[in-house]
Amino acid sequence: MSGTAKFSAERSSLPGVLVIRPRVFEDARGFFLETWNRRDFAALGIEADFVQDNHSRSRRGTLRGLHFQRRRPQAKLIRVLLGRVFDVAVDLRRGSPTEGEWFGLTLDADERAMLYIPAGLAHGFLTLSEEAELAYKCSAYHDPGDEGGLLWCDPQLGIDWPLEPGSRPLLSDRDRNLPALEELAFRFEPEES
């Protein structure tokens, strides 16, 4: 990261999914960093118009996801405020070279990296610490009637969740009963250029 850049971005294995590292200013008092700056993110290729911020708290072993919205897909900018999570994106864009593939990484409050997930992907996470708090920006408003999802343990996806040996995640009833990729007829259509 250059001396004046506030953010750096690393590409992931999925097109458009970026790991964002903010520049952190630390001294004896603590730290300061920017978490969003429209101009600087546009320079990284992120043009999302975020309209909603969400904040969740989860206990160890909680798995939330894999979620998406069908008609109003959401781009997300995710960061961990407390604790550690394993965060996952699954590509559901029809015709994408990585359609049906996943990318995951550990996000940690101490490391302060963020994950940008463009619209057209499912998202989920597993809480690795005693508790974790996530804050994430969304580019479309949440619509309960527009929700979709994928089964977290779908063998076709083969997500390597870092679960403790012999343990099962804490799931909502909804997440426990989501369809596998093979059963999901829905895919996001490519954007017209």
Determine whether 35 is exposed, middle or buried from the number of CB atoms within 10 Å of its CB (0-12, 13-18, 19+): middle
**Residue 141 known to be catalytic:** no
Strands (E), 23-73: 25-27, 30-32, 52-59, 63-69
**Residue 136 known to be catalytic:** yes
How far apart, in Å, are the Cα atoms of 98 and each of 43, 66, 89, 120, 135? 24, 17, 11, 12, 27
Q: Which of 55, 116, 136, 141 is catalytic?
A: 136
Contact 75, 117 (CB under 8 A): yes
The rounded distance, in Å, linking the Cα atoms of 142 and 73 is 9
Q: Which of 55, 67, 116, 141 is catalytic?
A: 67
Residues annotated as catalytic (active site), given as ranges: 67, 136
